[in-house]
Amino acid sequence: MELKVLRLIITVLLCQPNLLWAEWNTKDFQKREHSLIKPYQGSGFGVPNWDFQGSTMVTSNYIRLTPDQRSKQGALWNKIPCRVRNWEVQINFKVTGSTKDLFGDGFAFWYTKERMENGPVFGSKDFFSGLAIIGDTYSNHNAHNNHQHPYLSAMVNNGSVSYDHERDGKGTMLGGCEVKFRNMQHETWIAIRYENDKLTISHDLHNKRAWAPCFSMEGVKLPTGYYFGMSATTGDLSDAHDVISIRTYELDTVPGVSKEERPDIMPEAELFVSKQQEQQEKKDNEDSGPSMSGMKKFFIGLLVVLGLVVVAVVGIMIYQNQQENNRKRFY
């Protein structure tokens, strides 16, 4: 009897694998409306929940944002805004090119208020509002970086700041890491995790099925209701930028933290804002320093001139007295 009951339990579990999965993974729930998984094609020629623009081409194995050709831009954008507070996006991608040393320009993952707007920031608009995770493959000469490229970095913008291409975004970068992902023969992944106002970027570039940390930052404020997207661009140099899959998960909210939407807050990174303020104060102090020394130099110079004038007047008076004495001797 016990053997029959055991067989029955095993049969039920095998027939219902979702029960096992639900028990194993209780905190992460895949959001299919924000995910892009093979096979891509829906009814007709479109892909459900996603729009495409520019040079983007859909194949059976990947979605190519740009071919390995000069001056191309491509993008794909989710049609549905993300309403959850905590989420994680895992991107399976591939960047390939025919050259070893000269290649460009790179790709970006977006969580922004705007969507489907071409622009100069890796295929999307400048002065965006939201989050950008940038995979920059070309180092500009004016940047004077201490790291090698390709380089993965993050930027949070409220729509008021321009991305500085000439310096590879150096002045607005939250953090980053070197990522040698070009021309890999295996799958490459990056993960963007946003949980309780903490942004964490990870990658798996060596097909180890384990995340390696890139960087993380607390105090990142992102509104709900923004759109996920991917874009890429080439310039005088080129690469093929392919997206294989995008898997988006809703993360459970810890007790005591509100699950309500917050569409009206301003995107910002608190620690980065504090750092900017410190740098501005330092710059102001440096600027005020030379001006004070200039004033000192002015007053010192003025005193020197006055001293010379006094010396000259005294000298003239002494000379005149001597001349007067000499005339009296002759008389």
Short-list 176, 28, 162, CA closest to 90: 28
Helix (H) or strand (E) holding 245: strand 240-251
* Dist. CA 268–CA 163, nearest whole Å: 15
Q: SS3 of 226, please?
A: strand
Q: What tens-digit pLDDT sequence spans the chain (331 residues)?
A: 555 544 554 454 444 443 333 333 435 689 999 999 998 875 556 789 999 999 999 999 999 999 999 999 999 999 999 999 999 999 999 999 998 888 889 999 999 999 999 999 999 999 999 999 999 998 876 556 778 889 999 999 999 999 998 888 888 999 999 999 999 999 899 999 999 999 999 999 998 889 999 999 999 999 999 999 999 999 999 999 999 999 999 998 777 777 788 999 999 998 776 555 454 445 445 555 554 556 667 778 878 888 888 888 887 888 777 766 666 555 5
Judged on CB neighbours under 10 Å (0-12, 13-18, 19+), 258 is exposed
Count the Cβ atoms, other than its own, within 10 Å of residue 136.
Answer: 25
Judged on CB neighbours under 10 Å (0-12, 13-18, 19+), 77 is buried
